[in-house]
Amino acid sequence: MLFLLAILVRNYRSKTFKVSVFDRKATGAKIIVFPEYGLFFPHYLTSREDIYKLLEEIPDPIRRVNPCRELGGKEDFLIQHTLSCIAKNYSLYLIANIGAKENCPQNNKQCTQNGVYHFNANVAYSPSGVHLGRYFKKNLRDFEKWYDVPTSTVPSCFKTPYGTIGMLISYDIFNSEVAIDLIENRKIDIIALSSVWINTVPFHAIPFHASWASIMGITLFVSNLKNKDDMMFGSGIYTPYNVLKHSSKSYEDELLMASLDILSTRRDITYFPDVKLSRLFIREAKEKFKAYIDGVNYTMSLLNGRDNEAKTKICLKNFCCFVIIKNKAVNVTNFAVGIYRGNSKGSENIVESCL
pLDDT of residue 68: 93
Residue numbers of the domain that contains 322: 277-354
- Pick from 271, 263, 171, 160: which is nearest to 214 by CA? 271
Tell me: do 197 and 337 sit in the same domain.
no
Going from the C-alpha of 240 to that of each of 162, 186, 235, 267, the distances in angstroms are 16, 18, 16, 8
Using alpha carbons, select from 92, 254, 57 the residue that is nearest to residue 165. Answer: 92
Q: Which of 264, 293, 313 is at the close of a domain?
A: 264
Q: Which of 264, 290, 311 is the last residue of a domain?
A: 264
Given 264, 285, 302, the domain boundary residue is: 264
Closest by CA position to 305, among listed 321, 323, 289: 323
Q: What is the spatial distance between Cα 195 and Cα 323, in angstroms, rounded to a whole number?
A: 32
- In this structure, is the dihedral angle defined by the CA atoms of residues 134, 138, 141 and 145, taken in order, positive or negative? positive
* Local confidence band at 27 (pLDDT 50, 70, 90 cut-offs): low
Express each pLDDT in 70-127 by its tens digit. 876 677 888 899 899 989 988 889 999 999 999 988 777 778 888 899 999 999 999 9
Give the three-state DSSP class for 316: strand
Evaluate whether 315 touches 285 at the Cβ level (below 8 Å).
Answer: no
Q: How many domains does the chain have?
A: 2
Amino acid at 282: I
* Bridge pairing between strands 190-195 and 219-224: parallel
Q: What is the CA radius of gyration of the chain?
A: 22
Tell me what pLDDT residue 221 has: 94
SS3 of residue 283 by DSSP: coil
Shared domain check, 162 and 230? yes
The pairing of beta strand 131-136 with beta strand 116-125: antiparallel
The residues facing 246 across adjacent strands are 236
Can you give the pLDDT at residue 343? 76
pLDDT tens for 305-334 read: 665 677 788 888 888 888 877 765 556 566
Q: What is the dihedral of CA 134, 139, 141, 146, to 10 degrees?
A: 50
Task: Please tell me whether residues 172 and 200 are part of one structural domain.
Answer: yes
Which pTM value belongs to this model?
0.82
Is 6 domain-assigned?
Answer: yes
pLDDT for 137: 95
